[in-house]
């Protein structure tokens, strides 16, 4: 997830445009900014790149989810279904609008299991958030069919899959909204930042106003205009320096992805040597952004044994089953209903009664898959030495576990 790997002259040049005018803010300062609107330009370029009608920049990928949920009218009393393998941000955003997250199993795509989604839909389900984890798509056609049948809007959490496609169409353009993150470790970075894309003009106009304290953007949908307000909002404005970096990073995204694809193929050739190894089910291999290489071993014991050998030889993989940021049973603050809010919100009702309990045992199928999963991050810049180190570690593991 390596936008930071390619940070360089192009980004610096874009930043200098902003520093030269001294206008660090996306709105106002008409004369002084000399026609420079970096955040706006970044939005236009991003929408065009993804093939979406509109794009709204915000301060993070977490906020992108929250803004999308907010303008779709999701709030207290509503349930939002997402998956048990994702970054905590996905369900933090659901709680933050007052709704209750419900978690589905993942299958060998490492994304939402459509059959489990269908089982978990209730009268209270008001949105579905499939997450395109680790650079590659969920079964988005099946998920959209189920959502459409029940008339429930879909927000695609595409934070980890910018530039990835399904049958040639960008992930994030299938649902009502698609959200993206440009944080420190994502495929493209603006330091901190996020984006929401949509084809629905009204949704976009509402996001524009909501993320800017409800400022009336009516006479000028990309900026301010009137002094009326239609609803209460918040401040999630991206600043011009981030927009500038985003322009430069987006221009390199296809180059980043093609380098990752090459490096992933080389790493995969090594990993293939492990006896009994199988690879993540990619719903569209050609559309994979190749940010991660995910593979399975036949049992939990073998998986742990292999990773110990890889670690001892300087090429340890990520074991997401043990990862406390991405996997449901390891979210102890969710399981234990830990909150800093004295009333116990969002786990309790306003009168203090417990509203929702998260049982760590409820996703057994995911556990069976996650316990056999190992993952390598694929860098943009992979040296021959590093590749050889990985290859040697894999060969050792293959020899020892037989």
Ligand X SMILES: *Cc1c(COP(=O)(O)O)cnc(C)c1O
Least separation in angstroms between residue 179's CB and ligand X is: 7
Least separation in angstroms between residue 159's CB and ligand X is: 3
Buried b (16+ CB within 10 A) or exposed e, 271-292: beebeebeebebbbeebbbbbb
Contact residue for ligand X among 157, 209, 212, 240 (CB under 6 A)? 157
Does 375 participate in binding ligand X (rule CB under 6 A)? Answer: no
Compare residues 90 and 249 and give the one whose CB is closer to ligand X.
90
* C-alpha–C-alpha distance, residues 296 and 225, integer Å: 55
Does 260 participate in binding ligand X (rule CB under 6 A)? Answer: no
**Residue whose Cβ sits closest to ligand X:** 61
Residue 268 annotated among the catalytic residues of the structure: no
Compare residues 245 and 306 and give the one whose CB is closer to ligand X.
245
Least separation in angstroms between residue 87's CB and ligand X is: 4
Token pair 């955003």 is at which residue? 93
Does 194 participate in binding ligand X (rule CB under 6 A)? Answer: yes
Compare residues 87 and 295 and give the one whose CB is closer to ligand X.
87
- Going residue by residue from 53 to 72, which x/- string records binding to ligand X, judged by CB under 6 A? -------xxx----------
Strands 79-83 and 125-128: what pairing?
Answer: parallel
Token pair 């795509």 is at which residue? 109
Burial degree of 294 (CB within 10 A; 0-12, 13-18, 19+):
buried
Sheet arrangement for strand 194-198: 54-58, 194-198, 177-181, 155-157
Compare residues 117 and 159 and give the one whose CB is closer to ligand X.
159
Least separation in angstroms between residue 172's CB and ligand X is: 12
Give residues with Cβ within 8 angstroms of 102, minimum separation 6.
79, 80, 81, 82, 120, 125
* C-alpha–C-alpha distance, residues 91 and 321, integer Å: 18
Least separation in angstroms between residue 84's CB and ligand X is: 12
| Omega within 30 of 0 (cis) for the link into 199 | no
Compare residues 36 and 67 and give the one whose CB is closer to ligand X.
67
The active-site residue, picked from 186, 273, 302, 381, is 186
For residue 17, give the 3-state DSSP assignment: helix
Q: What are the beta bridge partners of residue 229?
A: 215
Least Cα distance to 292 among 160, 181, 128 occurs for 160
* C-alpha–C-alpha distance, residues 95 and 345, integer Å: 9
> Hey, what are 106's tokens?
């993942």
Compare residues 107 and 183 and give the one whose CB is closer to ligand X.
183
Determine which helix (DSSP H) or strand (DSSP E) holds 3, and give its type and residue range. Answer: none
| Residues of span 79-138 touching ligand X by CB under 6 A | 86-87, 89-90, 131
Interface with ligand X (CB under 6 A), residue total: 14
Compare residues 256 and 398 and give the one whose CB is closer to ligand X.
256
Alpha carbon distances (Å) from 292 to 141, 176, 377, 379, 394: 22, 27, 5, 9, 17
Does 160 participate in binding ligand X (rule CB under 6 A)? Answer: yes
Least separation in angstroms between residue 62's CB and ligand X is: 3
Compare residues 42 and 390 and give the one whose CB is closer to ligand X.
42
Task: Report the length, in residues, of the chain.
Answer: 402
| Residues of span 342-361 touching ligand X by CB under 6 A | none
* C-alpha–C-alpha distance, residues 198 and 51, integer Å: 10
Least separation in angstroms between residue 41's CB and ligand X is: 20
Least separation in angstroms between residue 402's CB and ligand X is: 36
Does 159 participate in binding ligand X (rule CB under 6 A)? Answer: yes
| Residues of span 261-320 touching ligand X by CB under 6 A | none
The DSSP secondary-structure symbol of 350 reads T
Give residues with Cβ within 8 angstroms of 343, minimum separation 6.
350, 352
Q: Are 184 and 25 in contact, with CB atoms under 8 Å apart? A: no
Does 163 participate in binding ligand X (rule CB under 6 A)? Answer: no
Q: Which residues are catalytic?
A: 186
Instruction: Give the residues lining the site for ligand X (CB under 6 A).
Output: 60-62, 86-87, 89-90, 131, 157, 159-160, 181, 183, 194
């Amino acid at each position: 997830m390596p936008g930071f790997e390619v940070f360089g002259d192009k980004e610096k040049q874009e930043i200098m445009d902003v520093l030269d005018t001294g206008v660090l803010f996306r709105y106002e300062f008409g004369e002084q900014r000399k026609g420079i609107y970096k955040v706006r330009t970044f939005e236009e370029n991003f929408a065009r790149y993804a093939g979406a009608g509109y794009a709204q920049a915000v301060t993070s990928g977490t906020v992108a989810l929250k803004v999308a949920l907010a303008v779709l009218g999701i709030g207290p009393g509503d349930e939002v279904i997402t998956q048990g393998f994702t970054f905590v941000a996905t369900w933090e955003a659901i709680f933050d609008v007052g709704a209750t997250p419900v978690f589905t199993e993942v299958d060998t795509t490492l994304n939402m299991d459509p059959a489990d989604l269908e089982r978990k839909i209730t009268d209270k389900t008001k949105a579905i958030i499939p997450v395109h984890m680790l650079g590659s798509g969920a079964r988005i056609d099946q998920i959209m069919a189920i959502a459409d049948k029940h008339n429930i809007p879909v927000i695609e959490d595409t934070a980890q899959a910018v530039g990835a496609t399904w049958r040639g169409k960008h992930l994030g353009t299938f649902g009502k909204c698609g959200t993206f993150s440009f944080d420190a470790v994502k495929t493209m970075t603006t330091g901190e930042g996020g984006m929401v894309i949509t084809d629905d003009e009204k949704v976009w106009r509402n996001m524009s106003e909501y993320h800017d304290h409800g400022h009336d953007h009516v006479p000028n949908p990309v900026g301010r205009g009137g002094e009326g307000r239609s609803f209460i909002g918040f401040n999630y404005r991206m600043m011009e320096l981030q927009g500038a970096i985003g322009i430069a990073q987006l221009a390199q995204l296809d180059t980043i992805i093609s380098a990752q694809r090459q490096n992933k193929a080389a790493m995969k050739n090594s990993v293939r040597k492990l006896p009994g190894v199988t690879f993540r089910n990619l719903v569209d291999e050609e559309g994979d952004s190749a940010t991660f290489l995910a593979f399975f071993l036949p049992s939990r014991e073998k998986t742990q044994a292999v990773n110990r050998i890889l670690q001892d030889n300087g090429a340890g993989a990520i074991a997401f089953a043990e990862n406390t940021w991405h996997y449901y049973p390891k979210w102890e603050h969710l399981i234990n209903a830990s909150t800093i809010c004295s009333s116990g919100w969002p786990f309790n009702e306003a009168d203090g009664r417990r509203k929702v309990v998260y049982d760590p045992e409820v996703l057994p199928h995911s556990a069976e898959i996650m316990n056999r999963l190992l993952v390598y991050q694929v860098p943009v810049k992979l040296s021959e030495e590093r590749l050889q180190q990985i290859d040697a570690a894999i060969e050792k593991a293959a020899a020892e576990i037989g």
